[in-house]
Amino acid sequence: MAPDQTTDVGVGPHPEPWPAEAHFDPELLAEGDRRNVLDRYRYWSVDAIVADLDHGRHGFHVAIENWEHDFNIGSVIRNSNAFLASAVHIIGPHRWDRRGAMSTHRYLHLHHHADVDAFVIWAASEGLPIVAIDNVDGSVPIESTALPEHCVLLFGQEGPGVSNAALAAARATCAITQFGSTRSLNAGVASGIAMYEWCRQHVQSETDI
């Protein structure tokens, strides 16, 4: 590596005089901002970033069944941030491995539901159809399915997939078409593809998806 290259992420302390707007975080201005955020959010407080994202969140929610503290939950949450999900819902145990999320959960609205029944009741109360993502018998290809503009994309835990109770409550079950020998994609990868497909269908007019 050349001497003038650096592996530091982000930016260092902000030159004085500091900006006075309320969305700036004095600690970040003083010490630098090494977070994995867009340049426009440099030195912003977490609360200010969340408030700004809330103005443009998309119409889909993400739900994850969590029965074994699946490490992929962190990846699903990171994807939910990248594709600007309205909120993330964890069904079952509250505990999950946050390392895969790379702190992106701080910029999302996370909700917990004790079990599938509680989650289904919530979705019905909000008028949100559940779209399960799993390659089970009867599923339809996601790339040729019109996804609802307002819905919940539901993912199961690694291995067992979406539970039978959740599949029964889903309005539709979509599968991601594959071409190799493996039976399934891990939940982190599958969630990114599904969210991208939702954005391709509903956000194309606003940005290049």
Domain count, the chain: 2
For residue 38, the enclosing domain spans: 8-55
Asked if residue 27 is part of any domain, the answer here is yes
| Total-model pTM | 0.90
Ranges of H-type helices in 126-174: 164-169
Which of 159, 154, 166 lies closest to 115 in space, CA to CA? 166
C-alpha to C-alpha distances, 165 to 34, 132, 172, 208, nearest whole angstrom: 43, 11, 13, 37
* 12 and 104 fall within a common domain: no
* 70 and 101 fall within a common domain: yes
* 17 and 86 fall within a common domain: no
Asked if residue 2 is part of any domain, the answer here is no
Query: For residue range 9-64, what is the model confidence (pLDDT) as tens digits?
Result: 899 999 999 999 999 999 999 999 999 999 999 999 999 999 999 999 999 999 99
* 127 and 156 fall within a common domain: yes
Helix (H, G, I), strand (E, B) or coil at 25: coil
* 36 and 125 fall within a common domain: no
For each of the chain's 209 residues, which pLDDT tens digit applies?
444 444 578 999 999 999 999 999 999 999 999 999 999 999 999 999 999 999 999 999 999 998 665 678 899 999 999 999 999 999 998 777 788 889 999 999 999 999 999 999 999 999 999 999 999 999 999 999 999 999 999 999 767 889 999 999 999 999 999 999 988 888 899 999 999 999 999 996 554 44
β-pairing verdict for 151-155 and 60-65: parallel
